[in-house]
Structure 1
Amino acid sequence: MQSMSTLVFDADDTLWENNILFIRVVDDFLAWLAHPTLDHAAIRAVLNDVERANAKTHGYGSRVFLRNLADCFERLNERPATEAERREIERLAAALVFDQVELMPEVAATLADLGARHELALLTKGDDAEQRRKLAASGLAAHFGSVHVVREKDLAAYLALTSELRLDPATTWMIGNSPKSDIIPARQAGWNAVFIPHPHTWELEHAALDPADTGVLQLPSFTALRGHF
Protein backbone atom coordinates (compact mmCIF):
# COMPACT_ATOMS: atom_id res chain seq x y z
CA MET A 1 0.00 0.00 0.00
CA GLN A 2 1.14 3.53 -0.70
CA SER A 3 1.21 6.47 1.71
CA MET A 4 -1.45 9.12 1.13
CA SER A 5 -1.80 10.10 -2.50
CA THR A 6 -4.18 12.24 -4.52
CA LEU A 7 -6.23 10.02 -6.82
CA VAL A 8 -7.91 11.86 -9.68
CA PHE A 9 -10.59 9.89 -11.50
CA ASP A 10 -11.95 10.07 -15.00
CA ALA A 11 -15.74 9.67 -15.16
CA ASP A 12 -17.09 8.34 -18.49
CA ASP A 13 -16.19 4.68 -19.04
CA THR A 14 -14.17 4.65 -15.83
CA LEU A 15 -16.82 5.16 -13.16
CA TRP A 16 -19.83 4.45 -15.37
CA GLU A 17 -20.68 3.20 -18.83
CA ASN A 18 -20.86 5.91 -21.47
CA ASN A 19 -19.55 5.25 -24.95
CA ILE A 20 -21.61 2.08 -25.43
CA LEU A 21 -24.71 4.33 -25.37
CA PHE A 22 -23.30 6.39 -28.23
CA ILE A 23 -22.29 3.23 -30.11
CA ARG A 24 -25.87 1.97 -29.99
CA VAL A 25 -27.16 5.26 -31.39
CA VAL A 26 -24.52 5.20 -34.14
CA ASP A 27 -25.53 1.64 -35.07
CA ASP A 28 -29.17 2.75 -35.36
CA PHE A 29 -28.08 5.80 -37.37
CA LEU A 30 -26.06 3.70 -39.81
CA ALA A 31 -28.94 1.26 -40.28
CA TRP A 32 -31.32 4.15 -40.92
CA LEU A 33 -29.02 5.80 -43.46
CA ALA A 34 -28.83 2.70 -45.66
CA HIS A 35 -26.39 4.47 -47.97
CA PRO A 36 -26.54 3.03 -51.52
CA THR A 37 -22.76 2.77 -52.05
CA LEU A 38 -21.00 2.99 -48.67
CA ASP A 39 -20.91 0.20 -46.13
CA HIS A 40 -21.08 0.77 -42.38
CA ALA A 41 -17.29 0.93 -41.97
CA ALA A 42 -16.98 3.64 -44.62
CA ILE A 43 -19.79 5.69 -43.08
CA ARG A 44 -18.28 5.24 -39.64
CA ALA A 45 -15.00 6.63 -41.00
CA VAL A 46 -16.83 9.72 -42.27
CA LEU A 47 -18.52 10.16 -38.90
CA ASN A 48 -15.15 9.86 -37.16
CA ASP A 49 -13.82 12.70 -39.33
CA VAL A 50 -16.84 14.84 -38.47
CA GLU A 51 -16.50 14.09 -34.77
CA ARG A 52 -12.80 14.90 -34.80
CA ALA A 53 -13.41 18.27 -36.46
CA ASN A 54 -16.40 19.23 -34.33
CA ALA A 55 -14.67 18.29 -31.07
CA LYS A 56 -12.06 20.97 -31.71
CA THR A 57 -14.71 23.63 -32.33
CA HIS A 58 -17.69 22.59 -30.24
CA GLY A 59 -16.35 20.22 -27.58
CA TYR A 60 -18.14 17.08 -26.41
CA GLY A 61 -21.49 15.87 -25.13
CA SER A 62 -24.85 14.74 -26.45
CA ARG A 63 -25.68 18.07 -28.13
CA VAL A 64 -22.44 18.00 -30.09
CA PHE A 65 -23.06 14.35 -30.91
CA LEU A 66 -26.45 15.26 -32.41
CA ARG A 67 -24.69 17.88 -34.51
CA ASN A 68 -22.16 15.25 -35.60
CA LEU A 69 -24.92 12.97 -36.87
CA ALA A 70 -26.58 15.80 -38.79
CA ASP A 71 -23.28 16.95 -40.31
CA CYS A 72 -22.43 13.39 -41.29
CA PHE A 73 -25.82 13.02 -42.97
CA GLU A 74 -25.29 16.22 -44.96
CA ARG A 75 -21.79 15.23 -46.02
CA LEU A 76 -22.90 11.79 -47.21
CA ASN A 77 -26.01 13.03 -49.02
CA GLU A 78 -24.49 16.29 -50.28
CA ARG A 79 -27.54 18.22 -49.13
CA PRO A 80 -29.09 19.46 -45.90
CA ALA A 81 -31.45 17.16 -44.05
CA THR A 82 -35.16 17.78 -44.49
CA GLU A 83 -37.27 18.65 -41.47
CA ALA A 84 -38.50 15.05 -41.30
CA GLU A 85 -34.94 13.73 -41.50
CA ARG A 86 -33.78 16.11 -38.77
CA ARG A 87 -36.59 14.90 -36.53
CA GLU A 88 -35.56 11.28 -37.16
CA ILE A 89 -31.94 12.05 -36.27
CA GLU A 90 -33.14 13.74 -33.08
CA ARG A 91 -35.30 10.70 -32.29
CA LEU A 92 -32.33 8.39 -32.68
CA ALA A 93 -30.18 10.55 -30.40
CA ALA A 94 -32.94 10.86 -27.79
CA ALA A 95 -31.67 7.62 -26.26
CA LEU A 96 -28.84 9.68 -24.77
CA VAL A 97 -30.70 10.70 -21.64
CA PHE A 98 -28.46 10.83 -18.60
CA ASP A 99 -30.96 10.79 -15.75
CA GLN A 100 -29.63 7.33 -14.94
CA VAL A 101 -26.13 5.89 -15.25
CA GLU A 102 -24.81 2.34 -15.14
CA LEU A 103 -21.94 2.15 -12.68
CA MET A 104 -18.94 -0.08 -13.19
CA PRO A 105 -18.93 -3.05 -10.79
CA GLU A 106 -18.26 -2.14 -7.14
CA VAL A 107 -17.31 1.45 -7.96
CA ALA A 108 -18.99 2.98 -4.91
CA ALA A 109 -17.46 0.49 -2.49
CA THR A 110 -14.02 0.89 -4.07
CA LEU A 111 -14.19 4.69 -3.87
CA ALA A 112 -15.27 4.50 -0.22
CA ASP A 113 -12.32 2.24 0.55
CA LEU A 114 -9.81 4.42 -1.30
CA GLY A 115 -11.23 7.61 0.18
CA ALA A 116 -10.43 6.39 3.68
CA ARG A 117 -6.73 6.52 2.83
CA HIS A 118 -6.33 9.06 0.01
CA GLU A 119 -7.60 12.36 -1.33
CA LEU A 120 -10.03 11.81 -4.23
CA ALA A 121 -10.93 14.22 -7.04
CA LEU A 122 -12.87 13.94 -10.29
CA LEU A 123 -11.66 15.29 -13.64
CA THR A 124 -13.91 14.90 -16.66
CA LYS A 125 -14.37 16.66 -19.97
CA GLY A 126 -17.49 17.61 -21.86
CA ASP A 127 -20.55 19.75 -21.33
CA ASP A 128 -20.47 21.01 -17.74
CA ALA A 129 -24.18 20.64 -17.00
CA GLU A 130 -24.39 17.22 -18.65
CA GLN A 131 -21.39 15.82 -16.78
CA ARG A 132 -22.70 17.13 -13.47
CA ARG A 133 -26.10 15.55 -14.17
CA LYS A 134 -24.38 12.20 -14.68
CA LEU A 135 -22.44 12.63 -11.45
CA ALA A 136 -25.62 13.49 -9.54
CA ALA A 137 -27.39 10.47 -11.04
CA SER A 138 -24.46 8.22 -10.10
CA GLY A 139 -24.69 8.92 -6.39
CA LEU A 140 -20.88 9.15 -6.24
CA ALA A 141 -20.39 12.89 -5.73
CA ALA A 142 -19.81 12.65 -1.97
CA HIS A 143 -16.66 10.60 -2.52
CA PHE A 144 -14.79 13.47 -4.19
CA GLY A 145 -13.21 16.43 -2.49
CA SER A 146 -13.47 18.41 -5.72
CA VAL A 147 -15.04 18.01 -9.16
CA HIS A 148 -13.60 19.54 -12.32
CA VAL A 149 -15.28 19.62 -15.74
CA VAL A 150 -13.02 20.90 -18.51
CA ARG A 151 -13.44 21.43 -22.22
CA GLU A 152 -10.40 19.28 -23.06
CA LYS A 153 -8.20 17.06 -20.92
CA ASP A 154 -4.87 18.16 -22.31
CA LEU A 155 -1.55 19.13 -20.73
CA ALA A 156 -2.80 22.64 -19.98
CA ALA A 157 -5.76 21.23 -18.03
CA TYR A 158 -3.52 19.00 -15.93
CA LEU A 159 -1.06 21.79 -15.19
CA ALA A 160 -3.94 24.09 -14.22
CA LEU A 161 -5.35 21.47 -11.84
CA THR A 162 -1.89 20.89 -10.37
CA SER A 163 -1.73 24.59 -9.55
CA GLU A 164 -5.35 24.94 -8.38
CA LEU A 165 -5.18 22.01 -5.94
CA ARG A 166 -1.49 22.52 -5.11
CA LEU A 167 -0.79 18.93 -6.05
CA ASP A 168 2.51 17.15 -5.69
CA PRO A 169 2.84 15.40 -9.08
CA ALA A 170 4.96 12.65 -7.56
CA THR A 171 2.07 11.55 -5.32
CA THR A 172 -0.77 12.30 -7.75
CA TRP A 173 -2.37 9.62 -9.93
CA MET A 174 -4.76 10.02 -12.85
CA ILE A 175 -7.05 7.01 -13.20
CA GLY A 176 -8.94 6.38 -16.42
CA ASN A 177 -9.58 4.40 -19.58
CA SER A 178 -8.43 6.88 -22.24
CA PRO A 179 -4.78 6.88 -23.33
CA LYS A 180 -5.29 10.19 -25.13
CA SER A 181 -7.07 12.13 -22.38
CA ASP A 182 -6.21 10.37 -19.14
CA ILE A 183 -2.78 8.81 -19.41
CA ILE A 184 -0.56 10.71 -21.85
CA PRO A 185 -1.28 14.30 -20.72
CA ALA A 186 -1.15 13.30 -17.05
CA ARG A 187 2.30 11.84 -17.58
CA GLN A 188 3.34 14.98 -19.48
CA ALA A 189 2.34 16.96 -16.40
CA GLY A 190 4.53 14.77 -14.22
CA TRP A 191 1.68 12.80 -12.63
CA ASN A 192 1.53 9.04 -12.34
CA ALA A 193 -1.32 7.27 -14.10
CA VAL A 194 -3.45 4.15 -13.86
CA PHE A 195 -4.77 2.82 -17.15
CA ILE A 196 -7.93 0.70 -16.86
CA PRO A 197 -8.79 -0.41 -20.41
CA HIS A 198 -12.42 -0.45 -21.47
CA PRO A 199 -13.59 -2.53 -24.46
CA HIS A 200 -15.73 0.33 -25.80
CA THR A 201 -13.38 3.29 -25.44
CA TRP A 202 -14.20 5.88 -28.10
CA GLU A 203 -11.92 5.55 -31.14
CA LEU A 204 -10.87 9.19 -30.88
CA GLU A 205 -9.50 8.47 -27.40
CA HIS A 206 -7.11 5.75 -28.60
CA ALA A 207 -3.37 6.40 -28.55
CA ALA A 208 -0.21 4.37 -28.17
CA LEU A 209 1.29 4.16 -24.70
CA ASP A 210 4.97 3.66 -23.96
CA PRO A 211 5.29 0.12 -22.57
CA ALA A 212 8.53 1.12 -20.85
CA ASP A 213 6.94 3.96 -18.88
CA THR A 214 7.13 2.89 -15.24
CA GLY A 215 4.87 5.78 -14.24
CA VAL A 216 1.87 4.02 -15.78
CA LEU A 217 0.17 1.18 -13.96
CA GLN A 218 -2.27 -0.93 -15.99
CA LEU A 219 -5.04 -2.71 -14.10
CA PRO A 220 -7.74 -5.08 -15.35
CA SER A 221 -10.62 -3.53 -13.41
CA PHE A 222 -11.63 -0.66 -11.18
CA THR A 223 -11.78 -2.88 -8.12
CA ALA A 224 -8.13 -3.81 -8.62
CA LEU A 225 -7.23 -0.29 -7.40
CA ARG A 226 -7.74 -1.55 -3.84
CA GLY A 227 -4.70 -3.78 -4.12
CA HIS A 228 -2.41 -0.90 -5.12
CA PHE A 229 -3.64 2.07 -3.09
Structure 2
Amino acid sequence: MPDTFVQRVPLGQTLLIDADDTLWENNIYFERAIVSFISLLNHHAYSPDEIRHHLNACERETIRQRGYGLKSFRQSLVNCFEQLSPEPVSQQTHEQISSFADAIATQEIELLPGVADTLSTLTTRHRIILVTKGDDWEQRDKLERSGLKPYFHEIEVLPEKHSEAYLTLRDRHCCEAASTWMIGNSPKSDVNPALEAGLNAIFIPHDNTWMLEHEELLPPPSSQAFLQLPAFPHLAHYF
Protein backbone atom coordinates (compact mmCIF):
# COMPACT_ATOMS: atom_id res chain seq x y z
CA MET A 1 0.00 0.00 0.00
CA PRO A 2 1.53 3.35 -0.95
CA ASP A 3 2.49 6.21 1.37
CA THR A 4 -0.43 8.47 2.21
CA PHE A 5 1.70 11.58 2.77
CA VAL A 6 5.27 12.68 2.23
CA GLN A 7 5.72 15.68 4.52
CA ARG A 8 7.07 15.48 8.06
CA VAL A 9 4.36 15.59 10.73
CA PRO A 10 4.45 18.23 13.51
CA LEU A 11 6.60 17.72 16.57
CA GLY A 12 5.05 16.24 19.70
CA GLN A 13 3.40 13.14 18.24
CA THR A 14 2.99 9.99 20.32
CA LEU A 15 4.69 7.00 18.71
CA LEU A 16 3.67 3.57 19.98
CA ILE A 17 6.38 1.18 18.79
CA ASP A 18 6.29 -2.60 18.69
CA ALA A 19 9.36 -4.58 19.78
CA ASP A 20 9.79 -8.09 18.33
CA ASP A 21 10.65 -8.02 14.60
CA THR A 22 10.20 -4.25 14.57
CA LEU A 23 13.20 -3.28 16.71
CA TRP A 24 15.08 -6.57 16.83
CA GLU A 25 15.08 -10.02 15.28
CA ASN A 26 12.82 -12.48 17.06
CA ASN A 27 10.83 -14.93 14.98
CA ILE A 28 13.85 -16.30 13.09
CA TYR A 29 14.98 -17.97 16.33
CA PHE A 30 11.60 -19.60 16.84
CA GLU A 31 11.67 -20.81 13.23
CA ARG A 32 15.05 -22.42 13.80
CA ALA A 33 13.73 -24.11 16.92
CA ILE A 34 10.74 -25.43 14.98
CA VAL A 35 12.99 -26.87 12.26
CA SER A 36 14.95 -28.72 14.96
CA PHE A 37 11.70 -29.87 16.56
CA ILE A 38 10.34 -31.28 13.29
CA SER A 39 13.64 -33.06 12.71
CA LEU A 40 13.46 -34.57 16.19
CA LEU A 41 9.92 -35.79 15.63
CA ASN A 42 11.03 -37.38 12.32
CA HIS A 43 7.47 -38.46 11.63
CA HIS A 44 6.83 -40.85 8.75
CA ALA A 45 3.06 -40.36 8.63
CA TYR A 46 3.05 -36.55 8.43
CA SER A 47 4.95 -34.14 6.21
CA PRO A 48 6.85 -31.19 7.74
CA ASP A 49 4.06 -28.89 6.54
CA GLU A 50 1.44 -31.03 8.24
CA ILE A 51 3.44 -31.06 11.46
CA ARG A 52 3.79 -27.29 11.29
CA HIS A 53 0.05 -26.91 10.74
CA HIS A 54 -0.60 -29.05 13.83
CA LEU A 55 1.94 -27.06 15.83
CA ASN A 56 0.17 -23.83 14.85
CA ALA A 57 -3.05 -25.26 16.26
CA CYS A 58 -1.24 -26.25 19.46
CA GLU A 59 0.20 -22.75 19.76
CA ARG A 60 -3.20 -21.11 19.35
CA GLU A 61 -4.64 -23.28 22.10
CA THR A 62 -1.69 -22.81 24.45
CA ILE A 63 -1.74 -19.04 23.93
CA ARG A 64 -5.46 -19.01 24.71
CA GLN A 65 -4.77 -20.79 28.00
CA ARG A 66 -1.39 -19.42 29.03
CA GLY A 67 -0.61 -16.33 26.95
CA TYR A 68 2.51 -15.61 24.92
CA GLY A 69 6.14 -16.27 25.74
CA LEU A 70 8.75 -18.99 25.84
CA LYS A 71 6.94 -21.06 28.47
CA SER A 72 3.90 -21.17 26.22
CA PHE A 73 6.03 -22.02 23.18
CA ARG A 74 7.79 -24.82 25.06
CA GLN A 75 4.45 -26.27 26.13
CA SER A 76 3.15 -26.09 22.56
CA LEU A 77 6.13 -28.10 21.33
CA VAL A 78 5.59 -30.72 24.02
CA ASN A 79 1.87 -30.95 23.31
CA CYS A 80 2.45 -31.28 19.58
CA PHE A 81 5.08 -33.98 20.06
CA GLU A 82 2.87 -35.95 22.45
CA GLN A 83 -0.10 -35.76 20.08
CA LEU A 84 1.83 -36.85 16.98
CA SER A 85 4.48 -39.20 18.32
CA PRO A 86 3.67 -42.90 17.86
CA GLU A 87 5.69 -43.68 20.99
CA PRO A 88 5.48 -42.36 24.56
CA VAL A 89 7.61 -39.28 25.06
CA SER A 90 10.63 -39.99 27.25
CA GLN A 91 12.12 -37.63 29.82
CA GLN A 92 15.16 -37.26 27.59
CA THR A 93 12.96 -36.15 24.69
CA HIS A 94 11.15 -33.67 26.94
CA GLU A 95 14.50 -32.19 27.92
CA GLN A 96 15.60 -32.00 24.30
CA ILE A 97 12.39 -30.20 23.33
CA SER A 98 12.89 -27.77 26.22
CA SER A 99 16.41 -27.08 25.00
CA PHE A 100 15.00 -25.65 21.77
CA ALA A 101 13.13 -22.98 23.74
CA ASP A 102 16.05 -22.46 26.13
CA ALA A 103 18.31 -21.61 23.17
CA ILE A 104 15.96 -18.76 22.28
CA ALA A 105 16.10 -17.40 25.82
CA THR A 106 19.87 -17.03 25.69
CA GLN A 107 19.99 -15.60 22.18
CA GLU A 108 21.77 -12.25 21.92
CA ILE A 109 19.57 -9.34 20.90
CA GLU A 110 20.17 -8.49 17.24
CA LEU A 111 18.88 -5.01 16.45
CA LEU A 112 17.43 -4.43 13.03
CA PRO A 113 19.43 -2.02 10.85
CA GLY A 114 19.30 1.64 11.84
CA VAL A 115 17.00 1.15 14.82
CA ALA A 116 19.21 2.68 17.52
CA ASP A 117 20.12 5.79 15.51
CA THR A 118 16.52 6.32 14.44
CA LEU A 119 15.18 6.05 17.98
CA SER A 120 17.88 8.43 19.17
CA THR A 121 16.52 10.99 16.72
CA LEU A 122 12.81 10.35 17.28
CA THR A 123 12.97 10.53 21.08
CA THR A 124 14.09 14.18 20.86
CA ARG A 125 11.06 15.10 18.74
CA HIS A 126 8.20 12.94 20.05
CA ARG A 127 6.90 10.91 22.97
CA ILE A 128 7.83 7.28 22.38
CA ILE A 129 6.10 4.38 24.12
CA LEU A 130 7.13 0.75 23.68
CA VAL A 131 3.98 -1.31 23.13
CA THR A 132 4.61 -5.03 22.90
CA LYS A 133 2.84 -8.19 23.98
CA GLY A 134 4.01 -11.35 25.69
CA ASP A 135 5.50 -12.34 29.00
CA ASP A 136 6.23 -9.18 30.98
CA TRP A 137 9.61 -10.32 32.33
CA GLU A 138 10.81 -11.70 29.00
CA GLN A 139 9.94 -8.56 27.07
CA ARG A 140 11.44 -6.19 29.62
CA ASP A 141 14.58 -8.33 29.77
CA LYS A 142 14.97 -8.14 25.99
CA LEU A 143 14.51 -4.39 26.09
CA GLU A 144 17.14 -4.09 28.81
CA ARG A 145 19.62 -6.23 26.89
CA SER A 146 18.93 -4.35 23.66
CA GLY A 147 20.29 -1.09 25.03
CA LEU A 148 17.22 0.76 23.70
CA LYS A 149 15.41 1.36 26.98
CA PRO A 150 16.63 5.00 27.44
CA TYR A 151 14.86 6.03 24.24
CA PHE A 152 11.38 5.17 25.56
CA HIS A 153 9.30 7.42 27.78
CA GLU A 154 6.98 4.57 28.82
CA ILE A 155 6.88 0.77 28.47
CA GLU A 156 3.72 -1.28 27.98
CA VAL A 157 3.75 -5.10 27.88
CA LEU A 158 0.24 -6.25 27.03
CA PRO A 159 -1.25 -9.76 27.23
CA GLU A 160 -2.87 -9.11 23.83
CA LYS A 161 -2.96 -6.29 21.29
CA HIS A 162 -6.54 -5.73 20.16
CA SER A 163 -8.60 -2.58 19.66
CA GLU A 164 -9.82 -2.55 23.28
CA ALA A 165 -6.21 -2.69 24.51
CA TYR A 166 -5.30 0.29 22.34
CA LEU A 167 -8.28 2.27 23.60
CA THR A 168 -7.27 1.56 27.20
CA LEU A 169 -3.68 2.50 26.45
CA ARG A 170 -4.80 5.70 24.72
CA ASP A 171 -6.76 6.76 27.79
CA ARG A 172 -4.05 5.74 30.27
CA HIS A 173 -1.41 7.84 28.53
CA CYS A 174 -3.77 10.69 27.56
CA CYS A 175 -3.04 10.21 23.86
CA GLU A 176 -4.74 12.37 21.25
CA ALA A 177 -5.91 9.93 18.60
CA ALA A 178 -5.07 12.26 15.71
CA SER A 179 -1.43 12.56 16.80
CA THR A 180 -0.88 8.97 17.94
CA TRP A 181 0.72 6.31 15.71
CA MET A 182 1.12 2.58 16.21
CA ILE A 183 4.24 1.31 14.44
CA GLY A 184 4.98 -2.36 13.85
CA ASN A 185 5.41 -5.35 11.57
CA SER A 186 2.19 -7.21 12.36
CA PRO A 187 -1.07 -6.48 10.53
CA LYS A 188 -2.94 -8.54 13.12
CA SER A 189 -1.52 -6.95 16.27
CA ASP A 190 -0.07 -3.59 15.29
CA VAL A 191 -1.91 -2.10 12.32
CA ASN A 192 -5.49 -3.34 12.12
CA PRO A 193 -6.48 -3.06 15.80
CA ALA A 194 -4.84 0.37 16.10
CA LEU A 195 -6.85 1.62 13.13
CA GLU A 196 -9.99 0.10 14.64
CA ALA A 197 -9.25 2.04 17.84
CA GLY A 198 -9.12 5.31 15.90
CA LEU A 199 -5.33 5.71 15.88
CA ASN A 200 -2.98 6.18 12.97
CA ALA A 201 -0.76 3.27 11.94
CA ILE A 202 2.54 2.54 10.25
CA PHE A 203 3.31 -0.86 8.81
CA ILE A 204 6.96 -1.92 8.51
CA PRO A 205 6.94 -5.42 7.01
CA HIS A 206 9.41 -8.05 8.15
CA ASP A 207 10.26 -11.02 5.94
CA ASN A 208 9.98 -13.43 8.86
CA THR A 209 6.88 -12.20 10.66
CA TRP A 210 5.30 -15.03 12.65
CA MET A 211 2.61 -16.70 10.55
CA LEU A 212 0.07 -16.38 13.36
CA GLU A 213 0.44 -12.60 12.98
CA HIS A 214 -0.42 -12.64 9.27
CA GLU A 215 -3.66 -10.91 8.33
CA GLU A 216 -4.93 -8.84 5.44
CA LEU A 217 -4.41 -5.13 6.02
CA LEU A 218 -7.65 -3.23 6.57
CA PRO A 219 -8.22 -0.04 4.57
CA PRO A 220 -7.72 2.96 6.89
CA PRO A 221 -10.71 5.21 7.58
CA SER A 222 -10.56 8.53 5.75
CA SER A 223 -10.05 10.38 9.03
CA GLN A 224 -6.90 8.41 9.91
CA ALA A 225 -3.44 8.16 8.40
CA PHE A 226 -1.70 4.98 7.31
CA LEU A 227 1.85 4.64 6.08
CA GLN A 228 3.83 1.62 4.88
CA LEU A 229 7.60 1.94 5.09
CA PRO A 230 10.30 -0.43 3.84
CA ALA A 231 12.50 -0.15 6.93
CA PHE A 232 12.61 1.43 10.39
CA PRO A 233 15.06 4.26 9.54
CA HIS A 234 12.50 5.72 7.10
CA LEU A 235 10.52 6.91 10.13
CA ALA A 236 12.99 9.75 10.58
CA HIS A 237 11.94 11.16 7.19
CA TYR A 238 8.36 11.62 8.40
CA PHE A 239 8.78 12.19 12.13
Name the TM-score class by shorter chain.
over 0.9
Question: What is aligned with 2:118?
Answer: 110
Q: 1:181 aligns with which of 167, 180, 189?
A: 189
Report how far residue 85 of structure 1 moved.
1.2
Is 1:216 aligned with 2:226?
yes
Distance in 2 between residues matched to 1:112 and 1:37, nearest whole Å: 52
Q: CA deviation at 1:93?
A: 2.2
CA distance in 1, matches of 2:137, 2:86: 34
Structure-to-structure mapping, 1:1-229, within 5 angstroms: 1-3=8-10, 4-77=12-85, 81-98=89-106, 100-211=108-219, 215-229=225-239
**Alpha-carbon distance, 1:80 to partner:** 5.1
Amino acid at match of 1:216: F
1:98–1:133 CA contact under 8 A, matched in 2: no
Q: Distance in 1 between matches of 2:221 and 2:39?
A: 42
Identity level (%): 46
TM-score (ref. length: structure 1)? 0.96
RMSD across aligned positions (CA): 1.4
The structure-2 alpha-carbon separation of the partners of 1:160 and 1:98, relative to structure 1 and needing over 3 Å to count, comes to farther
Q: Which residue of 1 aligns with 2:5?
A: none
Cα distance in 2 for partners of 1:98, 1:15 equals: 18
Aligned AA for 1:2?
A: V
CA displacement at 1:90 relative to structure 2: 1.3
Cα displacement (A) at 1:100: 2.5
Q: Distance in 1 between matches of 2:108 and 2:125?
A: 29
Secondary structure, counterpart of 2:104 in structure 1? coil
Distance of 1:122 and 1:45 partners within structure 2? 31
Residue 79 of structure 1, CA deviation: 6.3
Query: How far apart, in 2, do the equivalents of 1:28 and 1:77 lie?
Result: 15
Q: Which stretch has the larger CA shift, 202-211 or 20-29? A: 202-211
Q: Is the 8 A contact 2:16 2:181 kept in 1?
A: yes
- Greater displacement, 205-214 / 32-41: 205-214
Distance 1:196 1:86, change over 3 A: same
How far apart in 1 are the matches of 2:109 and 2:46? 34
Seen in structure 2, the aligned counterparts of structure 1 residues 74 and 15 have a Cα distance that, compared at 3 Å, is same
Moved more, 93-102 or 199-208: 93-102
What amino acid is aligned across from residue 142 of structure 1 in structure 2? Answer: P
TM-score, reference length from structure 2: 0.92
How many residue pairs get matched? Answer: 229
Q: Which amino acid aligns with 1:140?
A: L
Deviations 1:117-150 (A, max 9, x none): 1110000100000000000000000101000001
Following superposition, the deviation at residue 92 of structure 1 comes to: 2.3
Q: Quote the Cα distance in structure 1 between the aligned partners of 2:93 and 2:166.
A: 41
SS at match of 2:23: coil
**Contact 2:109–2:142 (Cα < 8 Å) also in 1:** yes
Unpaired stretches in structure 2, ≥5 consecutive residues: 1-7
